[in-house]
């Protein structure tokens, strides 16, 4: 075991691409993603880990990236909203969100999409209650969640308009 460090080079994979970067030990993963890797789709909405706007999938698990240090993600694989679309083709969830007006200002949307993706990756036929539970950690102030739930349910049913 080496001595404690106040910073180090972190190597991680993000949306399939490998990144290597110097980082201070205290740097939150969300700031690393936004400021150091310049992927600004993941957002900050609070300072106590409640709002979920920073949600990403880390080594296959949905987490809040403001509640992790970047240094903890060394060697990990991360998925963010920028990895959902396939070139110009939007992910079914992205299409459904638009079709169902599941976003207004769009600020909670990246985190919301990651939570929805995580749900459908693990539970392809969720009930409405399970959908709400899946996004319970994502605050939205614009939509009241109604259309978000509808969009996720529609995606699960394979009903996504082009």
69-108: which residues touch another protein (CB under 8 A)? Answer: 69, 71-72, 80-82, 84-85, 90, 94, 97-101, 103-108
Candidates 37, 109, 117, 156: give the one binding another protein (CB under 8 A): 109
Cβ atoms 159, 150 nearer than 8 A:
no
Residues contacting another protein: total by CB under 8 A: 87
Alpha-carbon distance of 90 to 17, in angstroms, equals: 19
Residue 157 in contact with another protein, rule: CB under 8 A: no
* Cβ proximity to another protein, 81 vs 156, nearer residue: 81
The candidate with the shortest Cα–Cα distance to 71, out of 31, 38, 36, 26, is: 26
Residue 33 φ then ψ, to 5°: -65, -45
* Cβ proximity to another protein, 26 vs 157, nearer residue: 26
* Cβ proximity to another protein, 8 vs 13, nearer residue: 8
Q: Where are the alpha helices (DSSP H) in 46-125?
A: 92-99, 109-122
Candidates 63, 78, 156, 160: give the one binding another protein (CB under 8 A): 63
Distance from CA of residue 1 to its chain's centroid? 32
Candidates 12, 120, 149, 160: give the one binding another protein (CB under 8 A): 149
Cβ atoms 4, 69 nearer than 8 A:
no
Q: 3-class DSSP state for residue 127?
A: coil
Candidates 46, 124, 127, 157: give the one binding another protein (CB under 8 A): 46
Cβ atoms 109, 51 nearer than 8 A:
no
Instruction: For the CB of residue 135, give the shortest distance to another protein in the complex, in Å.
Output: 5
Residue 20 in contact with another protein, rule: CB under 8 A: no
Instruction: For the CB of residue 18, give the shortest distance to another protein in the complex, in Å.
Output: 20
């Amino acid at each position: 075991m080496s001595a404690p460090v106040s910073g180090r080079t972190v190597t991680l994979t993000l949306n399939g691409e490998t990144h290597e970067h110097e980082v201070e030990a205290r740097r939150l993963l969300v700031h690393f993603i936004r400021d150091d890797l310049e992927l600004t789709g993941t957002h900050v909405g609070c300072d106590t880990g409640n709002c979920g706007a920073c949600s990403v999938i880390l080594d296959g698990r949905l987490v809040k990236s403001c509640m992790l240090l970047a240094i903890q993600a060394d060697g990990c694989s991360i998925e963010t909203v920028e990895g959902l679309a396939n070139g110009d083709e939007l992910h079914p969830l992205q299409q459904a969100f638009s079709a169902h007006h599941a976003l207004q200002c769009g600020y909670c949307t990246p985190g919301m999409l990651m939570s929805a993706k995580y749900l459908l990756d693990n539970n392809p036929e969720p009930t409405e209650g399970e959908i709400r539970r899946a996004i319970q950690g994502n605050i939205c102030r614009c939509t009241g969640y109604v259309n978000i739930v509808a969009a996720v349910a529609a995606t699960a049913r394979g009903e996504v308009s082009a």
